[in-house]
Each structure stands twice: as C-alpha cells, then as structure tokens.
Amino acid sequence: MPKIGVFDSGIGGLSILDEAFLQAPSHDYLYLADSVNAPYGEQSSAWVASRSLQLCSWLISQSCSAVVVACNTATAQAIDQIRKKFPQIPIIGIEPGIKPAATLSQTKKVGVLATASTLQSEKFNALLATLLGDCEFITQAGVGLVPLIETGDLQHPQLEQLLIQYINPMVQANADTLVLGCTHYPFLEPLIQKLFGLNLHVINTSSAVIKQMCRLIPEATISEPGSVTYYSTQNSAQLETLAKQLMSHQRARQVSSEMVAI
Ligand code: DGL
C-alpha cells in the first residue's frame, strides 16, 4: 500500500486526515505535527516556506509516495516551492473555500476566518481577486484560536469569546456563509453552530481535498484499514490521544506514535 505523508503545524491537519481515513481507508498514513512550532499563522512567509520544505523532505525520506499539506498557511506560503523541489511526488494542498462560498451565499457576503499569514499571502489574494466582482468578503485573522485548539480543550471559554469577537461582525454585516480557512477550525464547527445557529453556512474543504488526493492516488482494492503513525516534534503521546479524541474514522486502524526532532 502507498504511504501517504500528511503534515500541519499541529493537530489541525487531523481534520483532513480523518477525511482521508473515511475516503481512502486502506492507505498507510504518516501524520507529522510540528506542534513545537505552532502556531504558524503569525510567522514570516520565509520561515513558513522553509519549515514546510523541511517537513515535506522528512516525510519523503520516510518513503511517502505522496504528501498532503494539511495546512492552509503552509499551502499559501510554500506549495509552489514544494512542488518545484519534489516534482516526482503528488503534493496535495488546501486553500480556503472562497469559491464555493461565493456560489452558495445568497446575500453575496462571505466571512473568511484564516490565519494572518494565509490572509496576507499572494496566493490567497490572487484567488480573492478573481471573485471580487461577485461577492463581498469579510476577512478576519483568527489570532489566538490555534494555541487554544492545540490544548485539545474545545470547551475552553476563551474559544467562545474569540469566536464571538471574530464572527459577530460578519453576521452583523449580513454574511450568510463562513469559510473556515485553517485546518484547526473544523474542530470548532459544533461551537460555531451553537453560537451562530444553522443559518450561517460553514464551508470546510477537507472533503474536497481528499477527493483530489483519491484522484491522484487511487486505492487498488479496499481491504483492511492501513496503519497510521503520529509523529510530533513536541509530544507524540498527547498527539495520539488527541487524534483518538478528535477523529471519527480512525476505527480499527493500527496506530503508533513517535517523537521526532526535525
Ligand atoms: N492549521 C494551519 C492552517 O490551516 C496552521 C495554523 C497555525 O499554525 O497558525 O493554516
């Protein structure tokens, strides 16, 4: 079975990995969380690009035959460089789903919650420029959300305060659709729904990303679930515990975890 590498600044990419377990169960996965360096969202573009190249290179050295950049920030700052450096390997990235959001929105007002780095990136702004005639976008950096999500305490009262602070102005401005432009944020979906009701459509592109992965690396035959190894640059036991807690599709998969110094 092919081995697929998946990386993020921390546990955010687990929202993508869970989709991969669902849609492509038989692959073996290596998940790499660079939690010692999270959050990436307020780091410089150059730092994110060079660190992403380093992580990708490490996954390929572990015999991964494809890599999913399960981080909007790393995709925005580094995917072109990664693809250039490793042309022999399929590299799948993730971008905020502003295009489907613009189509779906009735009010033609869309909120975008992402990291400061993603929102400032050339890649995101080039995509935004293609849609500006059709729709108004209210962008907001989710400063402070990632460190709280990294603790795994999704009931933390500060999360609720920050979400109200960031999303309320969007709703007040008549936005009916919210794009989750960071892979950590899907874990906040239940809280967002609780706070803002079902009238706010939430767009999360994890499923589309994994569909693309499946097109590039089809499964031969779906048999037994493959394995997963959780690598962390900070605390692999905690990563394995959080993975079990946060994901729905790990099921009977063979699981291991390891610390790595990269
Ligand atoms: N989960 C990442 C993203 O999708 C990075 C968040 C962060 O580390 O700031 O952007």
Query: Quick check: CB of 182 below 6 Å from ligand 1?
Result: yes
Say which of 56, 64, 71, 135 is annotated catalytic.
71
71 is catalytic: yes
Q: What's residue 222's pLDDT?
A: 66
Q: What's residue 17's pLDDT?
A: 98
Q: Which residues pair with 259 in a beta bridge?
A: 232
pLDDT in tens, 33-58: 999 999 999 899 999 999 999 999 99
Query: Quick check: CB of 75 below 6 Å from ligand 1?
Result: no
Q: pTM of the prediction?
A: 0.96
What is the per-residue DSSP string for the chain? --EEEEEESSSTTHHHHHHHHHH-TTSEEEEEE-GGG---TTS-HHHHHHHHHHHHHHHHHTT-SEEEE--HHHHHHHHHHHHHH-TTS-EE-----HHHHHHH-SSSEEEEEE-HHHHHSHHHHHHHHHHTTT-EEEEEE-TTHHHHHHTT-TT-HHHHHHHHHHHHHHHHTT--EEEEESTTGGGGHHHHHHHH-TTSEEE--HHHHHHHHHHHS--SS--S--EEEEEESS-HHHHHHHHHHH-SS-TT-EEEEEE---
**CATH match for 3-94+207-259 among 3.40.50.1860, 3.40.50.1240, 3.40.47.10, 3.40.50.720:** 3.40.50.1860
- Please state whether the peptide bond connecting residue 39 to the residue before it is cis, i.e. omega within 30 degrees of 0: yes
Mean pLDDT of 234-250: 95
Query: Quick check: CB of 39 below 6 Å from ligand 1?
Result: yes
Ligand 1 atom nearest 73 alpha carbon: 10
- Which residue carries 């600044």 as its tokens? 9
Q: Which residue has the higher pLDDT, 100 or 133?
A: 100
Tokens read off for 138 = 């209210």
Q: What's residue 225's pLDDT?
A: 87
Ligand 1 atom nearest 43 alpha carbon: 9
Ligand 1: which of 68, 115, 117, 139 to mutate, most ligand atoms within 8 Å of CB? 115
Query: Quick check: CB of 118 below 6 Å from ligand 1?
Result: yes
Cβ-proximal residues to 103 (8 Å cutoff; 6+ apart), any chain: none
Query: Quick check: CB of 179 below 6 Å from ligand 1?
Result: no
Q: What's residue 220's pLDDT?
A: 74
**Predicted confidence (pLDDT) at residue 166 exceeds the cutoff of 70:** yes
Give the model's confidence band at 134: pLDDT under 50 very low, under 70 low, under 90 confident, else very high. confident
Domains 3-94+207-259 and 98-204 share a fold: yes
Say which of 56, 64, 135, 182 is annotated catalytic.
182
Ligand 1 atom nearest 183 alpha carbon: 4
Interatomic CA distance for residues 53 and 112, integer angstroms: 26
User: What would the CATH number be for the domain defined by 98-204?
Assistant: 3.40.50.1860
Mean pLDDT of 240-252: 93
Domain boundaries, the chain: 3-94+207-259, 98-204
Query: Quick check: CB of 146 below 6 Å from ligand 1?
Result: yes
CA of 38 from ligand 1 middle (Å) equals: 8
The whole-chain average pLDDT of the chain stands at: 95
Interatomic CA distance for residues 20 and 235, integer angstroms: 23
135 is catalytic: no
CA of 225 from ligand 1 middle (Å) equals: 28
Query: Quick check: CB of 183 below 6 Å from ligand 1?
Result: yes
Mean pLDDT of 19-28: 95
**Predicted confidence (pLDDT) at residue 109 exceeds the cutoff of 90:** yes
Query: Quick check: CB of 150 below 6 Å from ligand 1?
Result: no
